Amino acid sequence: MNIRNQLKRVMGMVTSCTMIFSGLLCAQDPGPAGAEATHAKNIAPVDTSAVTPRPEGSIYMGGFRAPKIEHVRVAVIGLGERGEYQALHFLSIPHCEVVAVCDLFEDATKKVADRIEKRTGKRPAEYNKDPMAYKKMLAEVKPDAVIINTPWETHAQMAIDSMEAGAHAFVEVPMAITLEDIWRVVDTSERTQKHCMMLENCNYGRNELMFLNMVRQGLIGELLHGEAAYIHELRMQMKSENRGCGSWRTNHYAARNGNLYPTHGLGPVAQYMSLARGEDTFDRIVSFSSPAKGRAAYAKKHFAPDHKWNKLDFKCGDMSNSIIKTKLGRTILVQWDETSPRPYDRKNLIQGTEGTLADYPLRIAGERISPEPADKPEDGQPGGAEISSEGGYHEWYEGEKAEADLYAKYDHPLYKRLGEEARKNGGHGGMDYIMLYRVIECLHNGEPMDQNVYEGAFWSAVGPLSEKSVNEGGAPQVFPDFTRGDWKNTAPLPIIP
Binding residues for ligand NAD (CB under 6 A): 26, 28, 77-83, 102-105, 108, 131, 134, 149-152, 154, 172-173, 201, 244-245, 428
d(C-alpha 148, C-alpha 438), whole Å: 17
Residue type, 48: T
Q: How far apart are CB 116 and ligand NAD at their closest, in Å?
A: 16
- Minimum distance from CB of 29 to ligand NAD (Å)? 7
Cβ closest to ligand NAD, residue 195 vs residue 368: 195
Provide the minimum distance between the beta carbon of 304 and ligand NAD in the complex, in angstroms, as a whole number. Answer: 23
Backbone torsions φ then ψ of 60, nearest 5 degrees: -70, 135
CA diameter of the chain: 70
E strand spans, 38-124 = 72-77, 96-102
Q: Which is nearer to ligand NAD, 233 or 486 (CB)?
A: 233
β-pair partners for 434: none
21 or 211: CB nearest ligand NAD: 21
72/104 with CB nearer ligand NAD:
104
289-309 burial, b if ≥16 CB within 10 A, otherwise e? Answer: beebebbbebbeeeeeeeebb
What's the min distance (Å) between Cβ of 244 and ligand NAD?
4
The CB-of-40 to ligand NAD minimum distance in angstroms stands at 15
Q: Which is nearer to ligand NAD, 103 or 367 (CB)?
A: 103
Q: Whole-number minimum distance, CB 54 to ligand NAD, in Å?
A: 28
How far is it, in rounded angstroms, from Cα 442 to Cα 432? 15
Nearer to ligand NAD, 415 or 487 (CB): 415
How far is Cα 323 from Cα 227, in angstroms, rounded to an integer? Answer: 9
Amino acid at 377: P
Nearest to 196 by CA among 222, 237, 167, 216: 167
Contact by Cβ (8 Å): 285, 459:
no
170 vs 183, beta carbon nearer ligand NAD: 170
Cis (ω within 30 of 0) for the bond into 448? Answer: no
424 vs 426: CA distance, rounded Å: 6
The whole-angstrom separation of Cα 268 and Cα 204 is 8
Query: Are residues 384 and 373 in contact, defined by beta-carbon separation less than 8 angstroms?
Result: yes
d(CA 19, CA 178): 14
In this complex, which beta carbon is closest to ligand NAD, that of residue 148 or of residue 220?
A: 148
Shortest Cβ 387–ligand NAD spacing (Å): 34
Nearer to ligand NAD, 135 or 194 (CB): 135
Q: Which residue lies nearer to ligand NAD by CB, 143 or 371?
A: 143
Task: Tell me how far the alpha carbon of residue 158 is from its chain's centroid.
Answer: 16
| C-alpha separations of 236 from 39, 244, 275, 317, 340 in Å | 19, 12, 35, 17, 11
- Nearest approach in angstroms of CB 414 to ligand NAD is 18
Residue nearest to ligand NAD (CB): 80
- Angstrom distance (rounded) from CA 122 to CA 127: 16
Nearer to ligand NAD, 383 or 429 (CB): 429
- Nearest to residue 300, comparing CAs of 315, 311, 288? 311
Nearest approach, Cβ of 346 to ligand NAD (angstroms)? 11
- Specify whether the CB–CB gap between 163 and 186 falls below 8 A: no
For ligand NAD, the closer of residues 219 and 260 by Cβ is 260
Report the chain's terminal Cα–Cα distance, integer Å.
56
Catalogue the long-range contacts made by 391-394 (C-beta closer than 8 Å, 24 or more residues apart): 391/366, 391/367, 392/365, 392/366, 393/355, 393/356, 393/365, 393/366, 393/367, 393/369, 394/365
Minimum CB–partner distance for residue 151 and ligand NAD (Å): 6
Assess contact for 284 and 479: CB atoms under 8 A.
yes
CB of 27 to ligand NAD, least distance (A): 9
Instruction: For the CB of residue 36, give the shortest distance to ligand NAD in the complex, in Å.
Output: 14
